[in-house]
């Protein structure tokens, strides 16, 4: 499934959507860090084959979505759903994902997404 | 639906049941520049409402603040999908969700806006996206 990013310059009244990724990408979630960097986390895998796993990946843009970084793997070998992202005021990035068995997993990065740490599994 | 709070990388975690949350629903969480935590989430038995709730800014200091009363932003007769939330540097709140048209196989993106910390919401736009 493709991932589109919508951008509005008039407080949401009108929108312009641009394709960011085209392939097996699902469950995108978006956040902006305190320095204005735009982050998108998603699950990269084959949704139609439930026997397979994929990766949680993250990309960013420093020019409001005009260009995007290469993907960094947050976690590999995950059958994921419903990725989420939240960024602390100090820039620490948190990513959550529901694994196939309905456990919630949490990951964080303290170096602007360069390296990722598994923190907790709940459920 | 449970909200998990932790200030020490899950050494201590507090679980809170979000009011009027729907089983199997989704939530979007953002932290405002004022330290408030904002959540937009699914409510209603058929995931047919979008709710907003705020955790006041003094929680990180007191660890005792309670959630504000949830606000129902919108209710519909059909399932609403993918609740999203964004907060601007001056704490204007935007909530989004999509509604799928199963006949046309298209999605409409709905945007609501609040300028008073989520107490009141106004409809902004409805755009067909795909």
Residue B17 has pLDDT above 70, yes or no: yes
Q: For residue B104, how many other CB atoms are within 10 A of its CB?
A: 9
Q: What is the pLDDT of residues A82-93, one digit of tens each?
A: 899 999 888 999
The model's pTM is 0.84
Q: Please, what is the end-to-end C-alpha distance for chain B in angstroms?
A: 29
- Per residue, the 3-state secondary structure of A54-66, as one string, reads EEEEEEEECCCCC
Q: Is the model's pLDDT at A22 over the cut of 70?
A: yes
Closest chain A C-alpha to B121 CA, distance in angstroms: 13
B10: pLDDT strictly greater than 80: no
Q: Please indicate if any CB of chain A lies within 8 Å of the CB of B100.
A: no
Q: What mean pLDDT, rounded, does chain A reach?
A: 89
Residue contact B31–A11, C-beta within 8 A: no
Confidence of residue A62 (pLDDT cuts 50, 70, 90): very high
Among candidates A85, A5, A78, which has minimal Cα distance to A43? Answer: A78
Domain ranges across chain B: 19-128
Residues of A in contact with B4 (CB under 8 A): 104, 122
Q: How many CA atoms lie within 13 A of B105 on its CB side?
A: 0
| Neighbour tally for B61: CB within 10 Å | 9
**A79/B67 Cα distance (integer angstroms):** 32
Give yes or no for residue B20 having a pLDDT over 80: yes
Q: Cα angle at B107 between A103 and A94, to 5 degrees?
A: 35
In the predicted structure, residue B11 carries a pLDDT above the cut 80:
no
pLDDT in the model for residue B102: 84
Q: Return the closest-CA partner of residue A120 out of B9, B2, B12.
A: B9
Residue A8 falls inside a structural domain: no
User: What separation in angstroms does the CA of B120 have from each of A28, A91, B113?
Assistant: 28, 29, 8
pLDDT on residue A80: 82
| Rounded CA separation B94/B52 (Å) | 11
For B59, the enclosing helix (H) or strand (E) is helix B59-62
Q: Which residue has the higher pLDDT, B35 or B65?
A: B35
Q: Does B94 touch chain A (CB under 8 A)?
A: yes
Q: Percentage of chain A with pLDDT > 70? A: 98
Positive/negative CA dihedral, B87, A62, A96, B107: positive
Test A89 with B35 for CB contact under 8 angstroms: yes
Mutate to test the interface with B, among A1, A3, A12 (most CBs of B within 10 A): A12
Q: How many CB pairs below 8 A link A and B?
A: 56
**Tokens describing residue A107:** 């990951």
Where does residue A81 rank: exposed (0-12), middle (13-18), buried (19+ CB within 10 A)? middle
Beta-carbon separation of A87 and B13 below 8 A:
no
- B69/B13: higher pLDDT: B69
Q: Is the residue at A11 inside a domain? A: no
pLDDT for residue B65: 64
What pLDDT is recorded for position B125?
A: 92
| Residue closest to B109 by CA, chosen among B128, B124, B87 | B128
Q: What is the pLDDT of residues B42-64, one digit of tens each?
A: 998 889 999 999 988 766 566 65
Nearest CA in chain B to A90: B33
Q: What is the reported pLDDT for B58?
A: 62
The reply to whether A20 falls in a domain is no
* Residue A78: domain span: 25-122
pLDDT in tens, B67-114: 889 999 999 988 999 899 999 888 899 999 999 888 888 889 999 999
Residue A48, domain member (yes or no): yes
Count how many domains chain A has.
1
Q: Which residues of B touch A120 (CB under 8 A)?
A: 9-10, 13
Distance between CA atoms of B36 and B48, rounded to whole angstroms? Answer: 26
A15 touches B at CB < 8 Å = yes
CB B107 within 8 A of CB B128: yes
Give the H/E segment covering residue B50: strand B49-55
């Amino acid at each position: 499934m493709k991932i589109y990013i919508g951008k509005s310059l008039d407080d949401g009244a009108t929108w312009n959507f641009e394709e960011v990724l085209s392939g097996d990408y699902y469950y995108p979630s978006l956040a902006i860090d305190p320095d204005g960097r735009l982050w998108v986390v998603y699950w990269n895998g084959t949704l139609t084959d439930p026997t397979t796993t994929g990766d949680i990946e993250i990309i960013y843009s420093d020019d409001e979505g005009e260009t995007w970084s290469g993907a960094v793997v947050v976690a590999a070998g995950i059958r994921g759903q419903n990725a989420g992202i939240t960024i602390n005021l100090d820039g620490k990035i948190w990513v959550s994902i529901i694994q196939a068995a309905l456990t919630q997993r949490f990951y964080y990065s303290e170096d602007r997404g360069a390296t990722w740490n598994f923190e907790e599994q709940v459920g | 639906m449970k909200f998990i709070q932790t200030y020490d990388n899950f050494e201590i975690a507090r679980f809170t049941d979000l009011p009027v949350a729907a089983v199997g629903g989704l939530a979007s969480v953002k932290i405002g520049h004022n330290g408030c935590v904002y959540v937009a989430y699914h409510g209603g038995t058929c995931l047919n409402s979008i709710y907003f709730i705020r955790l006041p800014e003094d929680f990180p200091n007191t660890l005792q603040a309670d959630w504000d009363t949830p606000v129902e932003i919108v209710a519909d007769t059909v399932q609403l999908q993918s609740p999203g939330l964004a907060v601007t540097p001056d704490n204007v709140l935007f909530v989004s969700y999509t509604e799928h048209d199963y006949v046309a196989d298209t999605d409409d993106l709905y945007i609501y806006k609040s300028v008073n910390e989520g107490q009141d919401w106004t409809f902004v736009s409805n755009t067909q996206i795909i």
